[in-house]
Amino acid sequence: MTSIKTSLHFFFSHCNLRKSAGKVDLFKVVTIPAVIFVFLLFAWMLVIYFYNALPAFIREGLSVYFENVWQAAEEASNEYYGLASAIWGTVYTSLIAIIIALPISIAYSIFVVDYVPKRVKNILIIVSDMMAGLPTIIYGIWGAFVLVPFLQKYVMMPLYKHLSFIPIFSSPPITGYSYFSAGVLLGIMVTPFASAIIREAYQMIPFTYREAISSIGSTRYEATKVLLGYIKPAIFSGLILAFGRAVGETVAVSLVIGNTFNLSVGLFSPGYTISSLIANQFGNAFIYEHMLPVLYAGGLALFIIGLIVNVAGLYLLKRWEENVRI
């Protein structure tokens, strides 16, 4: 009798396993096509950009990325273009933005989570989210008419007057429209995005961790330092998101950077970014034979910059995970 019960139990268990094995994971079926679609869309965009930029590479080679020249002419043979100043301006202003945004984002996140009452906390979070959702043209107009004059009068002129022997402060701030103005404006714009990620991660740290750190007699500063080390991946993610947002910004930057083909380390020099160059020149590009492929090459450069930043971020995250395991 026992053997019969055992056999029946084995039979029904085997049938249940076969049924569960035969079940289709509907969530997997739904999500895989979405992933494939996103990947194909990205690949398609990359192919389109490369195909349209190919005439520029055939005519000028990779020097289109290393020469600082923009000579539009009705005669096609007299046209010469180089994106060096635009690439430099893109990276330079984005680095300025990150240098400004990252410490502010971390400090803002700590203050909102640890120090303010809940009622005030909700107000600050709403204001931050509203800033992230504002149209960029609002930032651009405010930057052109308020931020740039303020920076020129109270920041650029004093720095130039007293520290002009330092190369980055050696350019006279004649108009105020410069790499520095663009970087500061971008820093203000990307801070809400970075702070949102860092704030959520910092807020989700288990309370037991905070209690454990406090129980060993750590000061507030020491405890905060340890907790920030715990959310390093979120800080890296916020950094990557902020940099990508700054690299791709167009309208606001074009209103404050000066739009000049200039290759300089001077913070107060006017310049260009790839995005602002495409926005300003795309309307006239169809008049000239070789300008449009160069603009597509500039868009391809943005792809490459974004890829490098994301790969670097993944590498840093991997190194951090390895150190944590050790």
Domains and CATH numbers, the chain: 87-288 (1.10.3720.10)
* CA–CA distances in Å: residue 77 to residues 14, 111, 221, 291, 309: 78, 59, 64, 12, 36
The alpha helices in the chain, defined as continuous H runs, are 2-22, 26-60, 84-114, 118-133, 136-142, 148-151, 157-163, 179-203, 207-215, 220-230, 232-248, 251-256, 274-281, 291-325
* Res 1: pLDDT: 47
Which residue is associated with the tokens 């906390």?
Answer: 121
* Distance between CA atoms of residues 187 and 243, nearest Å: 9
* Res 320: pLDDT: 65
- Provide φ and ψ at 71, rounded to 5°: -120, 95
* Res 78: pLDDT: 87
* Res 322: pLDDT: 63
Which residue is associated with the tokens 């979070």?
Answer: 125
* Res 321: pLDDT: 65
* Res 108: pLDDT: 93
* Res 325: pLDDT: 56
* Res 236: pLDDT: 85
Ranges in the chain, pLDDT < 50: 1-4, 7-8, 10-12, 17-21
DSSP state of 258: B
Q: At what angle do helices 291-325 and 84-114 cross, to 10 degrees?
A: 40
pTM of the model: 0.85
